[in-house]
Amino acid sequence: MEKEESTGNGALVVQPPQAVAVMPGVSTMALEAATKAFQDVRKFVASILVENHDYGQIPGTQKPTLYQPGAQKIIRFFMARSEFTIVDKIEDYEKGLFDYNVRCDIIHIQTGNIISSALGSANTYESGFRWRQAQRKCPECGQETIFISKYENKETGFKDFYCYGKKGGCGAQFAHDYEPITSQQTGRVQNPDIADQKNSCLKRAEKRAQSMAALNLGCISDLFTQDLEDFQQHENTKEPPPKQPEISEADHAMKTSLKYYIQQLAELDSVKPDFIFQKLMGNSKAMVKHIDLSNQPGQLDQLREAHKSAYQQIVDRLGDIPND
């Protein structure tokens, strides 16, 4: 990989042109130029990712999902590393509830600057952790490889159970009403080893934060669904996500420039773009509180207006944008 190439492209993302003001009355041309630069970076980053390795389409989803190798590739491309901080957690062994809120900072190795940052969370009440798909367990060998025969038993007329050798079972056969099998609970059952899932839950929160931070870094978050990599493992127990409405090209461009706008707001406010975006989308009270706490009093009113106007534009044009 060419060093010059990557630094050149990286710089566009990390430090958008300072001449572009973000307050109402911003010059359209400046915004257009910025948007163009922004899209060039998107294209380039998207082009270094390899389908089915760095990202892929998971059945039941509308957008491709960024896998961990893809996220790591983007981070390496920007010559950066990830650092994780647990910002909030619940560890309740009694209730079996573990809940982690993790921040991933992407740190430019040479300068030590944080060039992207995102939050990710996971908790053990998510269906993938809390439930497991229970199969009938063989009373002989203990494997979960009991199936019901396709054929009726010639003597009883019932379809019996058998332990399937090709799936690792012992081949034993059992009557259709064999109590040690029929009494077993199948389907979705609560995971008994929930405390053991603590660590994988934390890992998942980290992975989500890292994916989001990498996507923000490459300006490509709207091309991807970021947190569904674990979807496959839990396909049986997780509801497919609702279909997202189709977004027209105009709306897409709008959304892209709004993201840029949000990034600029974040810079002025010295917070992460992710924070602004989430707050615009969600909790506006917390946003106002945050602004009031900010130590840039001269810019407060302008910022408030800008936030309001950005939010209004989002709502007017797109309704609720799915939070990618």
- In the complex with Zn ion, the residue whose CB is nearer, 62 or 173, is 173
CB 116 within 8 A of CB 169: no
Between 172 and 268, name the residue whose CB sits nearer to Zn ion. 172
Residue 73 and residue 69: Cα distance in Å, rounded? 6
Strands 80-92 and 146-152: unpaired
Residue 8 or residue 171: which is nearer to Zn ion going by CB?
171
Q: Which residues contact 264 (CB under 8 A, 6 or more apart)?
A: 16, 20, 22
- Please state the closest distance from residue 182 (CB atom) to Zn ion, in A: 16
Stretch near Zn ion under the rule CB under 5 A, chosen from 79-87, 96-104, 131-139, 287-295: 131-139
Are 33 and 21 in contact, with CB atoms under 8 Å apart? no
Within positions 159 to 178, which residues make up the interface with Zn ion, using CB under 5 A?
Answer: 163, 169-170, 172
CB of 146 to Zn ion, least distance (A): 7
Alpha helices in 51-117 (DSSP H): 68-77
Taking the complex as a whole, the smallest distance from the CB of residue 90 to Zn ion amounts, in Å, to: 40
Task: Give least dist CB 161 to Zn ion, A.
Answer: 10
Eight-state DSSP code of residue 85: E
**What is the rounded CA–CA span in Å between residue 320 and residue 305?**
20
Among 26, 127, 140, 184, binds Zn ion (CB under 5 A): 140
Token pair recorded at residue 67: 């896998």
Contact 163, 170 (CB under 8 A): yes
Q: How far is the CB of 171 from Zn ion (least distance, A)?
A: 7
| 3-class secondary structure per residue, 208-263 | HHHHHHHHHHCCCHHHCECCCHHHHHHCCCCCCCCCCCCCCHHHHHHHHHHHHHHH
- Judge whether 279 and 286 are in contact, CB under 8 Å: yes
- Minimum CB distance to Zn ion smaller for 96 or for 169: 169
Per CB under 5 A, contacts with Zn ion among 260-299 are none
Assess 181 for contact with Zn ion (CB under 5 A): no
* Distance of closest approach, residue 192 Cβ to Zn ion, in angstroms: 21
Binding to Zn ion by residue 138, rule CB under 5 A? yes
Of 12, 21, 141, 318, the one binding Zn ion (CB under 5 A) is 141
Smallest Cα–Cα separation from 269: which of 250, 289, 285?
Answer: 289
Nearer to Zn ion, 128 or 169 (CB): 169
User: Smaller CB distance to Zn ion: residue 23 or 172?
Assistant: 172
By beta-carbon proximity to Zn ion, the closer residue of 140 and 160 is 140
**What residues make contact with Zn ion under the rule CB under 5 A?**
138, 140-141, 163, 169-170, 172
